[in-house]
Amino acid sequence: MSRTKTSIKHTVSQLLSTADIRTEGDRPWDLRVHHGGFYDRLVASGSLGLGESYVEGWWDCDDLSGFFHRLLQADLHERARSLSPLAYASAAIRAKILNPQHASRVFRSGGAVHYNLGNDFYRSMLDSNLMYSCGYWKEAESLDQAQTDKMDLICKKLSLKPGMRVLEIGCGWGGFLKHAVTRYGVRGLGVTISKEQAALARERCDGIDAEVRLMDYRNLIHSNERYDRIVSIGMFEHVGPRNYRTFMKVARHCLKPDGLFLLHTIGGNRSDAYADPWFDRYIFPDSVIPSIQQIGRSIEGLFRMEDWHNFGPDYDKTLMAWHSNFERSWAEHRDQLGDEFYRKWRYYLQSCAGAFRARHIHLWQLVLSPQGIPGGYQCVR
């Protein structure tokens, strides 16, 4: 090995050791490197190289969630940016020049592609209600119960009453829509940009007072329909910083003056214009996690903040439950999706779990009102 390669390996190993991670250790969260080019690739490409090299089998780790928990808790992702500035430059330039989440490309966006992966695949990974967002584990002991409790938590925060009209922006496979209509007696409309989701959501909501439309949320601005309540669960991450204000204007336009809007979103500790390069390329292209500052600016002059609830650690449990289901059912999908997909999906689920465990990212539920609740809002937990 050349002196340069030895130096690079030493630098990477020393950096990882500050997070109590060894490159040839025997603990579950340690790395086992199989390819000599791993260290060069990591320095050259940052997180993109880390993820790609894992998917290609250049390294392994028994507990990826533990690895990422330690990596992010030690803020090594920030030091990696300085080690590999070029790896992040293209994403930053693209976000500054373009609007990746523009309406003209919404139906071919990464979000639409991701959710169109196949309903059978998601049925095997998710709960029985097909909720692809964080569950609420305060009293739950199973994934099904955590997701049901999350939906009830939202309904109670919105004080749903029979006959209310409810709009769900980003309705997924219709799980919340069906829950709210059948258990709380509301009338619902859900919108989604995924054809696969829309088809199954319509099937699941057949016979109840719920409608599902395949449409971009921005087109709601042209509607004269007004709603008592609006909810958006796990969709805001796909909106993009350039469109946050537009999203909030659409929600305000559709909400009655005395209504409530609940936003359920992943949140980050810093204001970014672009996503992690690996996630942007392979999992959720064009998705960006919002910050407190970005959300605050987007609602200024449009909504009053009634409640802000952070239960990010519950997403760690949710992701690990999804991962267990994914591992258990993988034999059903191997022939169709292939072994490379297996490593990619394992990396995705466990790295996200580690990020929530490290409090690097969060899960926020915001309750917003157009004019403020007279006498104040009664928080629900």
Q: Report the pLDDT value the prediction gives residue 74, as an integer from 0 to 100.
A: 95
In a domain, 377, yes or no: no
Q: Last residue of some domain: 97, 128, 155?
A: 97
Residues with active-site annotation: 352
Q: 110 with 70, same domain?
A: no
d(Cα 236, Cα 116) in Å, to the nearest integer?
18
pLDDT, tens digit, 9 for 90 and up, residues 72-127 = 999 987 776 665 666 555 555 555 555 555 555 555 554 556 766 778 999 999 99
d(Cα 155, Cα 179) in Å, to the nearest integer?
9
Q: 43 with 74, same domain?
A: yes
Q: 344 with 245, same domain?
A: yes
Q: Write down the residue that tokens 């808790």 correspond to.
A: 73
The list of the chain residues with pLDDT below 70 reads: 1-5, 80-113, 115-116
Q: 255 with 220, same domain?
A: yes
Q: 115 with 86, same domain?
A: no
Q: 114 with 89, same domain?
A: no
Q: 61 with 115, same domain?
A: no
Q: Last residue of some domain: 79, 97, 115?
A: 97
Q: 140 with 268, same domain?
A: yes
Q: 32 with 64, same domain?
A: yes
CA angle 195, 201, 205 (to 5 degrees): 150
In a domain, 185, yes or no: yes
Q: Last residue of some domain: 97, 131, 149?
A: 97
Q: Report the pLDDT value the prediction gives residue 270, as an integer from 0 to 100.
A: 95
Q: 93 with 147, same domain?
A: no
In a domain, 65, yes or no: yes
- Strand ranges inside 180-296, DSSP E: 187-192, 210-214, 227-233, 255-268
Domain boundaries, position 71: 3-97
In a domain, 381, yes or no: no
Q: Report the pLDDT value the prediction gives residue 274, as an integer from 0 to 100.
A: 86
Q: Report the pLDDT value the prediction gives residue 81, as an integer from 0 to 100.
A: 63
Q: Report the pLDDT value the prediction gives residue 357, as an integer from 0 to 100.
A: 98
Q: 115 with 182, same domain?
A: yes
In a domain, 376, yes or no: no
CA angle 307, 310, 316 (to 5 degrees): 155
Q: Report the pLDDT value the prediction gives residue 78, as an integer from 0 to 100.
A: 74
In a domain, 216, yes or no: yes
**How is 13-69 classified by DSSP, letter by letter?**
HHHHHTTT--TB--STTS-EE--TTHHHHHHHHHHHHHHHHHHTTSEE-S-HHHHHH
85, 132, 355: which is closest to 264 by C-alpha?
A: 132
Q: 35 with 176, same domain?
A: no
In a domain, 375, yes or no: no
d(Cα 341, Cα 361) in Å, to the nearest integer?
24
SS3 content of the chain, % helix, strand, coil (to 5): 50, 15, 30
Give me the number of domains the chain comprises. 2
In a domain, 345, yes or no: yes
Interaxial angle between packed helices 339-357 and 38-55, expressed in degrees from 0 to 180 and rounded to the nearest 10: 110
